[in-house]
Chains A and B, each alone.
Chain A
Amino acid sequence: DTAVSQTPKYLVTQMGNDKSIKCEQNLGHDTMYWYKQDSKKFLKIMFSYNNKELIINETVPNRFSPKSPDKAHLNLHINSLELGDSAVYFCASSQMSNQPQHFGDGTRLSIL
């Protein structure tokens, strides 16, 4: 009965490849988010979707493209992976904009 689940948990790939990370929430929330946590553990927002509509896009390179097929899913596709993309990517969701966000356990992306 995991609330926010991400797949895969670990992703190791070569520079230049394209990869996707999937996120699903079973909380019935309307808003979903992607965050990036760097090697210094600093968490920074990347995107937010509300009911399949892009709401927040925080100056992320356009190699990153989020896609929300329905309000329970928010996937992240990354083209032409670079060394600097190595990080932990967290998905989160909230019921409304003034409600707290609940996080998944992250996807650890390593670029070789």
Chain B
Amino acid sequence: QKEVEQDPGPLSVPEGAIVSLNCTYSNSAFQYFMWYRQYSRKGPELLMYTYSSGNKEDGRFTAQVDKSSKYISLFIRDSQPSDSATYLCAMSEVTGTASKLTFGTGTRLQVTL
């Protein structure tokens, strides 16, 4: 079993839809939770970063963490064609002066006009 499980999609939604992306994890040592967006031929771009259970909102994006269920989500409201990308969840455990990110496999999202 992988440490982080993520539905690979692809997920196709019409413009304006609400998108829900999810990851589950098995390692209780994970302390920090991130969502990255990756466009084709680009590096992962940080969208959301949180370390506690609950919700964190930033514009059209809401990150949700439930540590008791080992489950994180990213909600995108009013989705736009420019949101079409691969979304990667990532989690880290801190060991001294570095943190090791463990990524999900990514979900491909396509927002259609």
User: Are A97 and B43 in touch, CB under 8 angstroms?
Assistant: no
Taking a contact as CB atoms under 8 Å apart, the answer to whether B43 and A55 are in contact is no
Q: Are A105 and B43 in contact (CB under 8 A)?
A: yes
From known contacts A41-B86, A43-B88, A55-B96, infer whether A101 and B101 are also in contact, taking CB-CB under 8 Å.
yes
Q: A100: which of B42, B46, B86, B96 is its contact (CB, 8 Å)?
A: B46
Q: Enumerate A32-56 residues with CB–CB distance to B below 8 Å.
A: 33, 35, 40-45, 48, 50-51, 55-56
- B-side binding surface: helix, strand, loop or mixed? strand
Interchain CA distance A41-B39 in the complex, whole Å: 12
We find that the number of chain A residues with CB closer than 8 angstroms to chain B is: 30
Query: Do the beta carbons of A97 and B95 come within 8 Å of each other?
Result: yes
- Tally of chain B residues near chain A (CB < 8 A): 26
Residues in chain A near residue B100, CB distance under 8 A = 45, 48, 56, 58
Are A102 and B97 within 8 A (Cβ)?
Answer: no
Q: Tell me which residues from 75 to 113 in chain B have a Cβ below 8 Å from any Cβ of chain A.
A: 86, 88, 94-103, 105-106
A105 contact set on B, CB distance < 8 A: 41-43
Task: Report if A98-B94 is in contact (Cβ < 8 Å); known contacts: A48-B100, A90-B43, A90-B44.
Answer: yes
Q: Does B21 contact A (CB under 8 A)?
A: no
